[in-house]
Structure 1
Amino acid sequence: MGASDLSQEVRARITDQFFERLISADSPLVSEATLSALLARQVELLLHDLGRGARSGLRQRIEPSEETLRSAADFSSKRASLEIHPTETVRAAGLFYELTLPVLVREALPEAPAPEAVLDLALTLHDAVMTQIALGCVGYIKFLREKIHSSHLDERRRLARDLHDRVSHDVLVALLGLEQCEDELDRDPGLTRTKLRSVEHTLREALHAISELSGELRDSVSYSDLERSLGQFLESAAPDGVEVSLTVTGDILAVPEPVAEELYYMLREAVKNALRHSAPKRIRIRLHVSESAVHASVSDNGTGFDMDTVWKARHDGITSIHERTELLGGICTIRSSVGSGTTVRVSIPLVTS
């Protein structure tokens, strides 16, 4: 009997057992009705494709059908839209392989099959499953690209807002002051000198704001370690009267550059949020690197905020931190209450070879 001769009853039994195991494991792949239906369709098509590629004792590579490709794209896109990580698909694929191989051996091979025939069938099934995993990554890659693009656009919009709100405003105030000085130059030289000093102060503030914004565009951890980059930022960003400390434990240089880059932006955003909105007297930044993850936190003793109100408003800074963390497969938690300060914690797994 070939795999193409698997009865509908056998296929249904494989599918039912597969979904029962996914449900018992609380897999997010079966947590939403549409995604669950797409997964069931993928299982059906995979079993059909196996029928075209697996024969008793024959080793063939299975090329997925056009329908399988379309279905895989639909499943992958839906899973990505729900922000479910591809590792969940890998776990499900391993479970499918574990459940399906014994059935295929029993149904597709003769009694007491030769070891070579079992190996051929196992490799055929393995190829088919791995093809599905590869197809499933396509949608998530597209999702990641869109999220990264969105994150970059958000950063540009924030810089544009800062240029408009801080620099343009200061320059406009300075120009108006100069116009007034021109009108009063002959009538009241003393008052003119006072206004010129005010204009000078305003222009210096605008120049400082430009310097800060250009520094943000230039800053990167590509050519220096994360600890040094954070220290430089804190030195320039912390105003007088705010105590800022940075504590680093573990091998910070072991953090991969892409992770360090994103972590730098997240911690910088958390500190800037605290300075802008919480009026803190103290900010503590902690970094700990273990063999499997990097853990970071930013705590302040400022005014804090109501979590429900901020979530409903979808504050740009908090949203950016969450999205960057998710893109790296990490976890972000934020704790705050009015009058009790704020703590932002981020944990990001480190992939080691």
Structure 2
Amino acid sequence: MEDAEGNFEQHPEAARILDECFWEIFEDYKHQLREMRSLLIVGDGTTPGQLETNARSVLRRAAKVLRGEERSLLAVEEEIYRNIESSDEPLNPHPDESFRAGVALCKAAVTVVVKNLVPGTSSEKIAGIALAVQEIVMDRVSRMVMASYVDYLLTKVKETQFEERRRYSRELHDRLAHQMTVVTQSLELYRAFRERDAERAERRLILAQESARESLDLMREFSRELRLSETSQGLRIALENLMRISVPDGVDYEVSLEGEEKHLPDYVRDQLYMVLREGVRNAVAHSGSDRIEVEVGITPRQVTARVRDHGTGLDPEDGTTEGLGLSSMEERVSLLGGTFELVPEPGGGARAEVSLPLMREKDR
């Protein structure tokens, strides 16, 4: 058990077993991972060497605490920063996988420790040791999972930033670079024609002026999009700005939001906006729809949202759903404990649906 100062009860015998029986614990641990088909052992996320290193690190620290060699574990914040700073690459396992694996390691450690205690150990002492091992191992595992979760989110933030930079770079190349090329060529032709064909030279000068104005308008549009693509003024306003900027002329759109935004924590609001933004961009780019609708419903317990178009619809057999940014949308929703689904609409079109659980203030 842990005292008021964060120190755990000492059990040298349990510490000895954790040290001496590592391979027995590790084999039981791997067996459990195989049984649950954990991605840490059946996927590509973790090598056998990394799996052993992580398990040995957890059990070695637990043994030190049980012997009293470490007064207490690090503060949570220090633990997170130490794990992140000591890692040159992102932690591969999804936080859910890391936690499930931690529970399996804890179970294996408790089982082996109890089995190898001195014969005749009282039931009361066995229970105390088992509880202490469980608390210490899970404390360590929880801290590692938190570090994994923070690292996972930082990685996703970097990926999002990269995708945004790439999108703006593509837009600037495809549109602004073209306009500036027209300006340059038109001015060169103006200089070439102005002495021998004044009328033709004048047309080239007018074209250069028009292209320059379009380039300036384009830069203003980018600046405006950067300024408005945020949720600090509320989800409804952010979505309305998104539709105004993203939906081309000739396509109708509608944004509806029911419920009170005060129930949305900032991080949920931001992530939901990014999911809906991706859905809107997909509808604009791929559906060919003449109308796009975004609907959000908020209650104290749940937020639901959908992006609906009336375009060409989905055909899973022809691969139209590939490359639509669905994996990033699903990951964002999954991290918030929600569900995501992309389904065809009756009569044509598609609907991206999101459902996220919310916690009331008194439940937090």
Question: Normalized against structure 2, the TM-score is what?
Answer: 0.68
**Is the aligned partner of 1:267 residue 2:276?**
yes
Would the alpha carbon gap of residues 6 and 22 (structure 1) be closer, same or farther in structure 2, given more than 3 Å must change? Answer: same
Residue identity over aligned pairs, in percent, reads 26
Contact between 2:231 and 2:273, CA under 8 Å: does it hold in 1? no
* Matching residue within 239, 245, 253 for 2:248: 239
Alignment of 1:142-161 (within 5 A): 142-161=151-170
Matched residue of 1:241: which SS?
Answer: coil
Distance in 1 (CA, whole Å) between partners of 2:300 and 2:17 is 46
Matched residue of 1:302: which SS?
Answer: coil
* Matching residue within 19, 39, 42 for 1:31: 42
**Is the aligned partner of 1:3 residue 2:11?**
no
Distance in 2 (CA, whole Å) between partners of 1:8 and 1:278 is 60
Alignment of 1:85-164 (within 5 A): 85-94=94-103, 96-97=105-106, 101=110, 104=113, 107-108=116-117, 111-112=121-122, 118-119=127-128, 122-164=131-173
Q: CA deviation at 1:300?
A: 1.6
Distance in 2 (CA, whole Å) between partners of 1:7 and 1:175 is 74
Would the alpha carbon gap of residues 10 and 286 (structure 1) be closer, same or farther in structure 2, given more than 3 Å must change? Answer: same
Which runs of 5 or more residues in structure 1 are unaligned? Answer: 65-71
Would the alpha carbon gap of residues 207 and 50 (structure 1) be closer, same or farther in structure 2, given more than 3 Å must change? Answer: closer
Q: Deviations over 1:99-143 (max 9, x none)?
A: 65476457547544657x854662354123311332344455434
State the partner residue of 2:230.
221
Question: Normalized against structure 1, the TM-score is what?
Answer: 0.70
Tell me the amino acid that sits aligned with residue 223 of structure 1.
S
Tell me the amino acid that sits aligned with residue 178 of structure 2.
H
Contact between 1:270 and 1:298, CA under 8 Å: does it hold in 2? yes
Residue range with higher mean Cα deviation, 213-222 or 3-12: 3-12
State the partner residue of 2:78.
none
Q: Deviations over 1:167-202 (max 9, x none)?
A: 22123224434555563698565x777666655554
Distance in 2 (CA, whole Å) between partners of 1:79 and 1:153 is 16
* Matching residue within 340, 351, 354 for 1:343: 351
Q: CA deviation at 1:97?
A: 4.3
Matched residue of 1:218: which SS?
Answer: helix
Q: CA deviation at 1:228?
A: 1.0
Alignment of 1:181-192 (within 5 A): 183=193, 187=197, 189=199
State the partner residue of 1:68.
none
Contact between 2:295 and 2:307, CA under 8 Å: does it hold in 1? yes
Would the alpha carbon gap of residues 192 and 299 (structure 1) be closer, same or farther in structure 2, given more than 3 Å must change? Answer: farther
Tell me the amino acid that sits aligned with residue 352 of structure 2.
V
Alignment of 1:271-350 (within 5 A): 271-291=280-300, 294-303=303-312, 309=319, 314=323, 321=329, 325=333, 332-335=340-343, 340-348=348-356, 350=358
Would the alpha carbon gap of residues 209 and 343 (structure 1) be closer, same or farther in structure 2, given more than 3 Å must change? Answer: farther
Residue range with higher mean Cα deviation, 101-110 or 262-271: 101-110
Matched residue of 2:294: which SS?
Answer: strand
Aligned residue pairs, count: 335
Distance in 1 (CA, whole Å) between partners of 2:174 and 2:18 is 69
Q: Deviations over 1:55-106 (max 9, x none)?
A: 7xx8975779xxxxxxx99xx999942xx43233334434554665476457
Residue range with higher mean Cα deviation, 256-265 or 34-43: 34-43
Matched residue of 1:224: which SS?
Answer: coil
State the partner residue of 1:253.
262
Query: Alignment RMSD, CA only?
Result: 4.7
Tell me the amino acid that sits aligned with residue 239 of structure 2.
L
Distance in 1 (CA, whole Å) between partners of 2:15 and 2:127 is 16
Q: CA deviation at 1:250?
A: 3.6
Q: CA deviation at 1:166?
A: 0.9
Q: Deviations over 1:142-175 (max 9, x none)?
A: 3433332232122112112211211221232244
Matched residue of 1:265: which SS?
Answer: helix
Q: CA deviation at 1:344?
A: 3.3
Matched residue of 1:2: which SS?
Answer: helix
